[in-house]
Structure formats: structure tokens, C-alpha cells
Amino acid sequence: MRNFEDDPTLEDLLTSDQLKRLNRMLSALCREPVEISGNRDSGAVALEFNLETVGWLSGGSSGQERLAAADLVSFLMMFIAKYRLAANLHHDTTEASYAELQKQNEALKASEARYRALSSQLQDKVDEQVAVIKQAQMDLYESARLRSVGQLAAGVAHEINNPIGFMSSNLKVAGEYVSDLRQMVPDTDQNRELLDDFADLIGESSDGASRIASIVSDLKTFSSIDQADYTLCDVNELLSSAVHLLQTEYGQDLDILEKPGELPKISGHPSRLSQTFYNLLDNAAQALRAGEQGTQGGRILAKTSVDSDGVRVVIQDNGCGIAEDIREQVFDAFFTSRPVGAGTGLGLTVARDTVRAHRGTIQIDSREGKGTRVTLSLPVR
Amino acid sequence: MADHSPEENRLALKVVFYGPALSGKTTNLMQLHSLLNPQRKGELMVLETRDDRTLFFDMLPIGLKGDSGLDLRLKLYTVPGQVQHDSTRKAVLSRADAVVFVADSQAGQQDNNATAFGNLEENLDKVGLDIDSLPMAVQFNKRDLPGVVGDAELQQRWAGTPWAPLQMASALHGKGVIDTFRVLLDRLYTEVDREFALHTDHGIDRDTFIRQLSAASEENRA
Ligand SMILES: Nc1nc2c(ncn2[C@@H]2O[C@H](COP(=O)(O)OP(=O)(O)OP(=O)(O)O)[C@@H](O)[C@H]2O)c(=O)[nH]1
Ligand SMILES: [Mg+2]
């Protein structure tokens, strides 16, 4: 691109029409016609402008006439050139301003894009945080619910404990009374039958009472209402009471094999651990139910052992297993592969969070149709 | 950026008179036009002005021929000093080979001087030039007026800069104008000789360069 200050050529200064007209006017003033051109003819006089020869003037009747005409042209050129210079400068600065505007525009666009990207990132971050908060809220809700259920259970257990205690001892005494009665009443067939039946009734009631007493004791262990947050826990005891409670819920045909190992006590949160064991056992029981043969032939293994990582708890079933495509999601809160209404799906999330809170690990191995094994590792600390 | 065309054996250099409004840039150029008698001198082109104030620029071409036939031109430009003509100032400044900064000596004008100098720095940067490597002379004009900042004080203030010593002038009275110009030519020669081997290739030594381009009318005639 030419700059405004580049020396103008003859064509820059005058159009060919203007040049022709200038030639005519000059010729009219001179005795002989003169001509301005870019070529140097012999005898032509240089047309100087700003130390620059812009053209040559030839013709005329004498050198003097040529010089006079050239002077006049140079004089005119000066004004034409001034206009040209100013116009070119104006053009240059306008163009430069425009270019600058465009550059600013580009910069503005770029920064706008940056902000847009930032704001979408912000949206992602907000969504993420909202999910975290939702999750925390759910966990909180769930644990509050569990706590109140646990409190209720513990309260009920406490209330039942006394009457069941005196019921048991009363039934025992009543049994002795039946023996006494045998000595006292005449030994007839009818009396013997009556007293045998009486003794059976008292025996069954006594069995029932002791079953109630053991459920109450499991409930108390399970909810650990009278325990501080973190305390030394006997994992076997907690696991066992969870097993018993589950069996109470599912009936005795649920086959749970307990294989407790020798364990050190660990520092932990007893009711949360109980809840975790219960959830995992419950999942296992549901998996059996959903399996081919139902709970028939289904078996749950609840095993504990100790190794260098700490206490290891394995809960294994030979139920339906977890499909590959959903295995990744099993920890998502609310994710549940069970039919709607069968559970909230929070079980595994609660289990994972509890294990995390105990700085342990949880691992799930599953094969669809074969079963699932959940392994918890809890450091002894 | 010197405009050198080896085919035509021509070298055109651009000198820009910069400074705050009304500091006397146009006056400097007009004085050079009338006082100088260099080998070659063109017309002084004063483009649009309003109330004596430059709207576009002024331009004076001068030149000399070297032994090698080198056609050396110097185009002297002034910029409009008024703040609002910044884009014009930038356009005129672009591709400059040297700058004369004309400051106003009056005490009340020192802020304007500083602003204009900052503006020069900024615009040089924008047109891709570096103030530290560009040949430059700094002139404090209007020494004839009362209430100007003292000579010694000014010299001391600028002592640590590459542009010391300052040139003192009263352009309106033609004083210090040629001296300023010569200082500039001296600094310009160093750069141009380095790039175009004025001395070895074209037989133009420093003294010739300065003398031929800044010959005063009387001296020349004498
Ligand atoms: N007293 C005095 N006045 C001066 C001197 N030099 C210039 N002036 C006056 O200052 C006024 C401005 O001078 P210019 O040369 O037009 O200033 P400029 O720097 O070209 O101004 P802009 O074109 O607006 O940037 C004129 O009235 C000059 O006569 C000087 O040395 N002494
Ligand atoms: Mg001016």
C-alpha cells in the first residue's frame, strides 16, 4: 500500500482529461502549443515538485516560454499536491482508525467469548455444587430418619424389656406351679392331658418371651442408642445383631451363614456400622429373592477376618448379581435396580459414606446371575 | 523507516517535529525554510490550519546529492499538537527516522510537555518504533518569554536522559532552530551511516551530511 507521504506521480495529481485540458489552456497562452507528459523529449523542461520530477514539458516557441509554462505548472501542482496529501492522510487515518476499531472489536469479542466460557463453567460448577448439596441433604435426611427410627426402636426395646423380664420370670414360676399342681390334683387322664397342655402353653410362651428378649437386645445393640458417637466396637457383635434382625424380618428360611473371625475392637460409630451391615445384608436378601430360585437354595455368607489393612467384613450372596451396565452407578444416591417401591436406593450410598467416615474401603464384586460380594475393610486405628 | 531504493539510488528520510500544541513546531519549520539553504530545498507545504494551528501537517523537503550520485532527501514534517488530532499525529509519525521534540519553556506548560512526551512514547510504540533507539533532539522553545523555567534547571532535569543536552530556542526569532536541527542531523547520521554506509558507499561523511543539509543562507552565500 502506498503511504500518504509517497511522492505523487503525474497520474496521481491529474487525470488524463485534466492533463489534456491543462495542455490546451497552456497552449492557448503560449505562442506555440506545449505538452506535458511523463516522457523526456529533447529540449523538454522538467516539471519539479518537491524536489521530484513529476513530468516533462515540451513544445512552445522557445526555452524561455517552456520555462515560464513549467513554472506555472509547478505552482499549480503545489495546490493539487496539497489537496492530495491531505486527502491521502485523511484516508490513511480513517483506515487506521477503522483497523483499530476492528481490532478493538475482535478483542471485545474474544473477551466476551472468554466470559461466556467462564459463565458456562460457572453454571457447571453451580450444578455440581447443587448436586453435592442435594446429596448431603438426602444423606442428612436419611440419617435423621435412621436415627429417629433407631431411637424409636431403642425406646420400644427399653419399654418392652421390663415387662418381658417379669413375663419370663412369671412364666418360669408358672411352670413350676404346674409341676406343683401335678402333685396336688388327682391323677386322671383328663387332668394329665390338661396339665400337659398347660405346661406346653407355658413353655411356648416362655420360648416366645425369650425370643422377644433377644430381639430387644439386638435392637438395642443395633441402634446403640446409649453409645457415644465413636466408641470401641465389636464388629462381630454388630454384624450378628444385624443378621438376627434381618432374619426376624425375612423369617427363618433365610439362610445366613455367619463366620465370625477373631477380631480386635475397632474405633467406630456403632449405629452407623450396624445400619451399614443391615443395608448390605438386606441387599443380599433382596438379591436372593430376585434370583432364579428365590430364597430357596439361596445363601448369604457374613464373614469377618483381620489382616494388615484392618478388619475385613465380607457379605456375599448367590443371588441375581448386579448387571455390568449399572455397576458404575450402584453408589449413586437413589440409584436402585430394584422395582419401584422396593427401596430408596440409599443403602449403598450410606454404606460407602459410613465406610469413608471410618477411613475404610468398600469393594463390590458381582456377576450377573451368580451373586455379589461386598468387601469392607475397616482400619483398626 | 528510511525509504531506500537502490535502483534509483535514492534515500528518503523522514524527520518529525513533535510536541504539545502551540509549542512552535510550525514556527521551527518555517524558520528552517527561510534560514536554510541546503543543496536542494523544496517548497514549504503548510496544509490546512485554523487560527494558526496545524490541522494536518506541514512539510518541507530538503536534499543533497552524494558523490555516488545518491539522491538523499529529508522530509521534515510537523504534527498537529492539539490533543484531538491523535490519529493524524500517529499517521505522520509512522515510519519516522528521527524526531525533534519541541517543548514549551513557559512554566505553566510543563504538564503539557510531559503529556505530549508520553503521547510520543505511546504513539512510537504503536507504529512500531522505539523511543530509546530513535534519533531525537529535544528543544525548549520560547526562551524569549518571561516566566520560563530556568535553563540550568531544565538541563539538570534531563541530564540523565539520552537526549541531554537540551537545545534552547526562540523559534519566533530564528534562534536555536538551526542548532537544534544540527544536533538532530548529527544523531541521525550515526544511524543512517550504520545502515546505508553513507561514508564508505556514497562519500557522505558526517560533516558533509550536517553541513550540506543545514547550511544557513548567509553562510552559503559567503
Ligand atoms: N514568544 C514566542 N512565541 C513563539 C515562539 N515560537 C512560536 N511562538 C508562537 O506560538 C504560537 C504557536 O506557534 P506554532 O509554531 O504555530 O505552534 P505549533 O507547535 O505548530 O502548534 P500546533 O500546530 O497547534 O501544534 C504562534 O503564535 C507563534 O508565533 C517563540 O520562540 N517565542
Ligand atoms: Mg503547527
Question: Which CATH number fits the domain that encloses residue A350?
Answer: 3.30.565.10
Residue A149 is predicted with a pLDDT of 67
**Contact residues, chain A, for B95 at CB < 8 Å:** 3, 5
Among A31-35, A89-93, B133-137, whose mean pLDDT is lowest?
A: A89-93
CB–CB contact B94 A50 (8 Å): no
Ligand nearest to the CA of B51: 1
**Which residues are within 8 A (CB) of A136 and not within 5 positions of it... i.e. 6 or more apart?**
none
In chain B, % of residues over pLDDT 70: 96
Q: Does 3.40.50.300 match the CATH number of domain B3-216?
A: yes
Distance of CA A203 from the midpoint of ligand 1 (Å): 128
Distance of CA B208 from the midpoint of ligand 1 (Å): 31
Distance of CA B151 from the midpoint of ligand 2 (Å): 24
Distance from C-alpha of A153 to C-alpha of B190, rounded to nearest angstrom: 100
**Contact residues, chain B, for A96 at CB < 8 Å:** 87, 90-91
Which domain covers residue A354, as residue numbers? 227-381
Neighbours of ion ligand 2 (CB under 5 A): B 25-26, 54
| Final residue in a domain of this structure, among A66, A89, A104 | A104
Report pLDDT digits (tens) over A173-194: 998 998 898 888 888 999 989 9
Residue A142 has pLDDT above 70, yes or no: no
Bond prior to B165 in cis (omega within 30° of 0) = yes
Locus of grid cell 475397632: A266
CB–CB contact A93 B61 (8 Å): no
**Contact residues, chain B, for A86 at CB < 8 Å:** 47-48, 56
Residue A341 is predicted with a pLDDT of 40
Asked if the structure places residue A156 within a domain, the reply is no
Q: How confident is the model at residue B210 (pLDDT cuts 50, 70, 90)?
A: very high
Asked if the structure places residue A35 within a domain, the reply is yes
Residue B222 is predicted with a pLDDT of 35
Q: Which of A71, A93, A94, A97 to mutate to test the interface with B (most CBs of B within 10 A)?
A: A93
Distance from C-alpha of B222 to C-alpha of B220, rounded to nearest angstrom: 5
Residue A344 is predicted with a pLDDT of 44
Q: How confident is the model at residue A292 (pLDDT cuts 50, 70, 90)?
A: low
Q: Report which protein residue has its CA nearest ligand 1's atom 4.
A: B172
| Shortest Cα distance, chain A CAs vs residue B185, angstroms | 20
Residue B66 is predicted with a pLDDT of 80
**Contact residues, chain B, for A5 at CB < 8 Å:** 14, 59, 75, 77, 95
Report pLDDT digits (tens) over A210-222: 888 877 777 776 6
CB–CB contact A3 B92 (8 Å): no
CB proximity B75 to A under 8 Å = yes
> Whole-model pTM?
0.60
Distance from C-alpha of B103 to C-alpha of B22, rounded to nearest angstrom: 9
Residue B142 has pLDDT above 90, yes or no: yes
Residue A144 has pLDDT above 90, yes or no: no
Element (H, E) at A79: helix A63-184
Q: Which of B57, B31, B27, B63 is nearest to B45 (CA)?
A: B57
Number of domains in chain A: 2
Q: Report which protein residue has its CA nearest ligand 1's atom 2.
A: B142
Residue B102 has pLDDT above 80, yes or no: yes
Among A150-159, A173-182, B79-88, whose mean pLDDT is lowest?
A: A150-159
Average pLDDT of the segment spanning B1-16: 84
Among A54-63, A149-158, A233-242, B31-40, whose mean pLDDT is lowest?
A: A149-158
| Final residue in a domain of this structure, among A86, A104, A122 | A104
Distance of CA B123 from the midpoint of ligand 2 (Å): 18
Q: Which of A32-41, B38-47, B136-145, B199-208 has the highest mean pLDDT?
A: B136-145
Residue B221 has pLDDT above 50, yes or no: no
Ligand nearest to the CA of B32: 1
| Shortest Cα distance, chain B CAs vs residue A82, angstroms | 6
Q: Report which protein residue has its CA nearest ligand 1's atom 30.
A: B142
Distance from C-alpha of A124 to C-alpha of B62, rounded to nearest angstrom: 68
B23 lines ligand 1 (CB under 6 A): yes
**Contact residues, chain B, for A49 at CB < 8 Å:** 42
Pairing state of beta strands A45-49 and A310-317?
A: unpaired
Q: Which residues of A touch B (CB under 8 A)?
A: 3-5, 49-51, 78, 81-82, 85-86, 89, 92-93, 96-97
Report pLDDT digits (tens) over B157-198: 999 999 989 999 999 999 999 999 999 999 999 999 999 999
Residue B218 is predicted with a pLDDT of 65
Residue B220 is predicted with a pLDDT of 43
**Contact residues, chain A, for B94 at CB < 8 Å:** 3
**Which residues are within 8 A (CB) of B140 and not within 5 positions of it... i.e. 6 or more apart?**
B103, B104, B105, B148, B149, B154, B166, B167, B168, B169
Residue A1 is predicted with a pLDDT of 38
A340 vs A368, more confident? A368
Distances (CA, A) of A309 to A312, A317, A357, A360: 8, 23, 16, 9
**Contact residues, chain A, for B14 at CB < 8 Å:** 5
Please report the residues numbered 14 through 53 in chain B whose beta carbons come closer than 8 angstroms to any beta carbon of chain A: 14, 40-43, 45, 47-48
CB–CB contact A3 B95 (8 Å): yes
The 8-class DSSP code of residue A15 comes to -
ipTM over 0.85: no
CB–CB contact A86 B73 (8 Å): no
pLDDT, averaged across chain B: 91
Q: How confident is the model at residue B30 (pLDDT cuts 50, 70, 90)?
A: very high
Distance from C-alpha of A378 to C-alpha of A356, rounded to nearest angstrom: 9
Among A198-212, A218-232, A346-360, whose mean pLDDT is lowest?
A: A218-232
Comparing CB atoms, the residue among A4, A85, A93 nearest residue B87 is A93
B22 lines ligand 1 (CB under 6 A): yes
| Final residue in a domain of this structure, among A54, A78, A104 | A104
Residue B48 is predicted with a pLDDT of 67
CA dihedral B132, B134, B137, B139 (to 10 degrees): -70
| Shortest Cα distance, chain A CAs vs residue B48, angstroms | 8
DSSP string, chain B: --EEETTTTEEEEEEEEE-STTSSHHHHHHHHHHHB--SEE---EE--EETTEESS-EEEEEEEE-TT--EEEEEEEE---SGGGHHHHHHHHTT-SEEEEEEE-BGGGHHHHHHHHHHHHHHHHHTT--TTTS-EEEEEE-TTSTTBPPHHHHHHHHTTSTTPSPEE-BGGGTBSHHHHHHHHHHHHHHHHHHHH-HHHHH---HHHHHHHHH-BHHHHH-
pLDDT, averaged across chain A: 83
B25 lines ligand 1 (CB under 6 A): yes
